[in-house]
Each structure stands twice: as structure tokens, then as C-alpha cells.
Amino acid sequence: MGNDLAVSVKGLRKAYGRTVAVESLDLDVRRGEVFALLGPNGAGKTTTVEILEGYRKRDGGEVTVLDHDPAQPTAEWRARVGIVLQGTGEFEELTVGELVHHFAAFYPKPDDPDEVIARVGLSDKAKARTVGLSGGQKRRLDVALGIVGHPELLFLDEPTTGFDPEARREFWQLIRELNAAGTTIMLTTHYLDEAEALAQRVGVIAGGRLVEVAEPSRLGNRQSAPATVSWRTPDGSVESTASDTPTALVTELAARFGGEVPGLTVTRPTLEDVYLRMIGAGS
Ligand SMILES: Nc1ncnc2c1ncn2[C@@H]1O[C@H](COP(=O)(O)OP(=O)(O)OP(=O)(O)O)[C@@H](O)[C@H]1O
């Protein structure tokens, strides 16, 4: 059947000896979406993603990636899946241009390597040896190598770790452009703002199990969680109340104060608040 899921996982299990890394994991990634997998260190993200990429064997469960079982990878299937690896140090003597052209040759229908280099913002470094690139530039090169084969599905493992704020913003823009051009993207990240900025849906994994999948704004019922309304009382102390109807409360406060409410703030739980609660680390 023509499938609208790029990734389908049911009851995935993987153990390393006595360490159960992933247990009873169900997960879907829809074609065309950016899906972010969030979770603390050791949660099972890399294990899961490497099983999906066809680089680790699972112990149990059903897994389909682009209508194919990744435990039986074929060259044709691999060409449809892009993987952004962390660093390709063994090619340090090659230039950026040489390396991207070299990788393009592995694929049946690659994109134009020079266009890919431009898309990741490395045109002015095309003739530079990769050994001399900065950390952020190396990461862009990793992305170029991951996308030059024109993948339908792209895996990114912690793509912006070590980036400065400007490089992160530029990288996010690149991911959005790839996604707008039709690439399905699955990324793992420790950055909640990154998941919120990029992903249509976020999966939170903890202790090898999927705790929740939701749009970032809906995670942990964030939107409908009570708001905390705070204000300063006439004696100078700060009063705080959790309220399901903050607008009504603010209106009442405005009437009580005859206009401006001193020190007024209205907040809802941040993505970080609900995330920390989910993984059992909240205060
Ligand atoms: N090759 C391996 N051999 C033995 N244990 C492993 C191996 N790979 C992972 N593990 C264990 O499996 C569990 C899940 O690890 P995994 O690398 O999948 O987590 P992660 O969510 O990617 O973590 P991080 O955010 O730190 O990268 C951990 O307890 C880890 O120690």
C-alpha cells in the first residue's frame, strides 16, 4: 500500500546484555514532517535511530522505514535514506568540493554537488581542504554529504551541538528549506528550543520507552495547563495564583487596582518545564 508513514515502529526492543536500551517502543514518522526525538542521556535515542538507519539489529518488534525493513538493507533503499554523520575525519586532505562530488557518485540520482555546497552555505569554501574548516563549517559539510544523494528521509543526530547561536539559526533555516522541498526529517536533540523551532511533532523517550508524542505546543497538555498569574500587592509583596481563567483574573485585578496591575506576569509551563516533568527530573 502507498504509505503515508516514512517510519513505522511497533513494539521495538533492544538490549545490550542485561541493559535494556529500548522496550515496547511504538513510533510513527509521517512523510513530509520534521519529527524530533527528545530524551536524556542514555534514553535510547541513538539505539532507536541506528536501528531505523539499518546500522543496528533489533531484538524484537516491527520496523518499516520507507516501506522497507531496515534489518535487510538494500543499496536501493540506502540511497533513499540520508544520514548526517558526526564528522568525516578520514577525508581531511580533500577539498569540500572534491568530497561532495565524491559522495554524489555513490548515488543513482544525486543533486548537483555544487548546488548542495551552495545550499549549506559553503560555496566560498569549496576549494578549501576540509581539515581547515571550523566546527560549524564541518557540520555543514556533514549535512551536504547527507543530502547530496537527494534522500526522501534524512536522519540528523544532535545536529547543532557545539554551534554558536547564529550558526544554529542558519542551520535551522537549512532544515526548513529541505523540509519545504519535501524531505522528511527525523532528528534527535537535547535542545528543547530546537525541537520547538523545527518539529511538527516531538517524541519524548525516557528509559527506553516513548513517554509522549505531541506537537511541541501541546506536549504535556501545555496549552491547557493552568496559567500562573503574579502581581505586586500594595504592601510590596508578590502574590501568585494558578488559574484556569487567567483573563478573568487579570480583568478582576485591573478593576481592583483601577487600571495597571503592578508587576503583572502571566506564564504557562515552558516546554522545558513539561519535558523535565515527563522524564522525572522536574522539581
Ligand atoms: N554498544 C552498546 N553496548 C552496550 N550498551 C549500550 C551500547 N549502546 C548503547 N548502550 C546502552 O543503551 C542505553 C541507551 O543508549 P543510547 O546511546 O541509545 O542513548 P541516547 O538516548 O542516544 O543517549 P545520549 O543522549 O547520551 O546520546 C544506555 O544505557 C547505553 O549505555
Gap between the Cα atoms of 77 and 130, Å rounded: 29
Q: Which atom of ligand 1 is nearest to the CA of 22?
A: 14
DSSP 191-257: -HHHHHHH-SEEEEEETTEEEEEE-GGGGGGTTTSPEEEEEE-TTS-EEEEEES-HHHHHHHHHHHH
* Ligand 1 mutation target, pool 13, 16, 204, most atoms within 8 A of CB: 16
Best residue among 12, 18, 19, 58 to mutate for probing ligand 1, ranked by most atoms within 8 Å of CB: 19
Res 1: pLDDT: 45
Q: What is the CA radius of gyration of the chain?
A: 23
**pLDDT of the residue at 226:** 87
pLDDT band at residue 2, thresholds of 50, 70 and 90? low
ipTM associated with this complex: 0.96
Find the residues whose C-beta lies inside 6 A of ligand 1.
16, 19, 21, 39, 41-47
Task: Give 20 Cα–ligand 1 centroid separation in angstroms.
Answer: 9
Distance 16 CA to ligand 1 centre (A): 9
- Give residue 44 CA to ligand 1 midpoint distance, Å: 6
Q: How many Cβ atoms sit within 10 Å of the Cβ of residue 137?
A: 18
pLDDT band at 136, cuts 50/70/90? confident
3-class DSSP assignment, residue 5: strand
pLDDT of residue 224: 77
Copy the grid coordinates of residue 241: 495564583
Interval between CA 190 and ligand 1 midpoint (Å): 15
pLDDT at 217: 83
Each residue of 60-97: pLDDT tens digit? Answer: 999 999 999 999 999 999 999 999 876 656 677 899 99
Nearest-atom number in ligand 1 for the CA of 47 is 18
pLDDT digits (tens, 9 = 90+) for 231-278: 999 999 999 999 999 999 999 999 999 999 999 999 988 888 888 888
From residue 214, give the alpha-carbon distance in Å to each of 17, 160, 219, 222: 32, 22, 5, 10
Q: What is the pTM of this model?
A: 0.85
- Please compute the mean of the pLDDT values over residues 29-50 and round it to a whole number: 94
Residue pointed to by grid coordinates 502574590: 239
Instruction: Assess contact for 142 and 88: CB atoms under 8 A.
Output: yes
Q: Whose CA is nearest to atom 5 of ligand 1?
A: 16
Q: What are phi and psi of 68, to 5 degrees?
A: -140, 145
| 272 vs 128 pLDDT, higher one | 128
Residue nearest to atom 24 of ligand 1 (CA): 41
Distance 207 CA to ligand 1 centre (A): 10
Give the whole-angstrom CA distance, residue 65 versus residue 48: 12
Ligand 1 centroid – CA 88 distance (Å)? 22
pLDDT of residue 45: 93
Residues 6 or more apart whose CB falls under 8 angstroms from that of 114 comprise 97, 123, 126
Task: Tell which atom from ligand 1 comes closest to the C-alpha of 40.
Answer: 25
Position 89 scores a pLDDT of: 62
User: Mean pLDDT throughout 169-177?
Assistant: 90
∠ Cα 78 81 84 (to 5°)? 115
- In angstroms, rounded to a whole number, what is the distance separating the alpha carbons of residues 21 and 46? 10
